[in-house]
Amino acid sequence: MPLLKSAGLSAAAIFGGVLITATVLAQQPPHAPANEVNSDGHNDPVPPRQAWSFAGPFGKFDQAQLQRGFKIYREVCSNCHSMELVAFRNLADPGGPGFSEGQVKALAADYKVKDGPNESGEMFERPGRPSDHIPWNFPNDNAARAANGGALPPDMSVLAKARGFSRGFPWFIIDAFIQYQEKGADYIVGILNGYKDPPPPSVQLQPGQYYNEYMPGHRLAMPKPLNDGQVDYPDGTPTTVQQYSKDIAAFLSWTAEPKLEERKRTGLRVMVFLILFAGLLYYTKKKVWAEVVH
């Protein structure tokens, strides 16, 4: 009997040992010198966590910040990146940047949109309408590649949800409970602030590649898009890369998750209801079972 029991306990101990050894071994891949690129980005630094107005259970977007972010998108990023899933009218939706209908109409009319064919069978250009999706600078992917040294700038609509990073064990469990769901935004801020020129000597770059701290593999085909003072802020907000990057990342978080405010608001009501309901059921259950010995 005690023999079997100690067999069980040793199985437990061996199991623990295996896991710990494996984790330690795997943290240091044998043939990747520090700082060198490895295929899966094990040693990549984790972008610092930022404070976001839209984080947490009561989070809401900061309208002024979304409007500044849109300005950066329009003046800088849209030169290369598309925004296929967002229509002009969305800019006036509740829970968004809060442009007025008039502003959206005027804004849309600033863009040329391809339409047609008309009665004579010709395609033509017309001023944009609020229902149009934001058009792209390039007619197709290959044109964008050709202008960017062969690299395709990804569509930005859901970019903030399409990027992330691993914080490793045990954070991937803890993050669910501390509601750390803004990794995409932190990553974008990281990328925009992560350029280093010249790169560390251990990294060889091809022409058209730039060194970036936070890019997995550190090689990025996007030249540093933002510099201090590049975009005007009429409201006196500091015109620094740090500020720009937070504003554009907030804007991209909204384009990726336009129903975030509605979701969190609904969530609060559901939670309050469920907790009250659980409380009532708990006392009902106690009452019902009171005279049963169990």
Residues in contact with ligand HEC by CB under 6 A are 72, 76-77, 79-81, 148, 151, 153-154, 159, 163, 188, 191-192, 215, 220-223, 225-226, 248
- Choose among other proteins, ligand HEC, none what residue 79 binds, the Cβ cut-off being 5 to 8 Å by kind: ligand HEC
- The string of DSSP letters for 85-125 reads T-BGGGGGSTTTT---HHHHHHHHHTSEEEE---TTS--EE
Q: Is there a contact between 83 and 92 (Cβ–Cβ < 8 Å)? A: no
- Choose among ligand HEC, other proteins, none what residue 153 binds, the Cβ cut-off being 5 to 8 Å by kind: ligand HEC
Q: Is there a contact between 156 and 86 (Cβ–Cβ < 8 Å)? A: no
Binding mask 188-217 for other proteins (x = CB under 8 A): ----------------------------x-
Q: Rounded to whole angstroms, how far apart are CA atoms 80 and 95?
A: 27
Q: Is there a contact between 78 and 91 (Cβ–Cβ < 8 Å)? A: no
- Site membership for other proteins, residue 272 (CB under 8 A): no
Of 87-146, binders to other proteins (CB under 8 A) are: 90
Please state the closest distance from residue 229 (CB atom) to ligand HEC, in A: 14
- The string of DSSP letters for 194-218 reads -B-SSPPTT----TT-EEBTTSTTS
Q: Among 104-112, 119-127, 239-247, 263-271, which window interacts with other proteins (CB under 8 A)?
A: 263-271
Q: Among 114-122, 202-210, 245-253, 278-286, which window interacts with other proteins (CB under 8 A)?
A: 278-286
Q: Among 63-71, 72-80, 120-128, 284-292, which window interacts with other proteins (CB under 8 A)?
A: 284-292
Q: Rounded to whole angstroms, how far apart are CA atoms 250 and 185?
A: 7
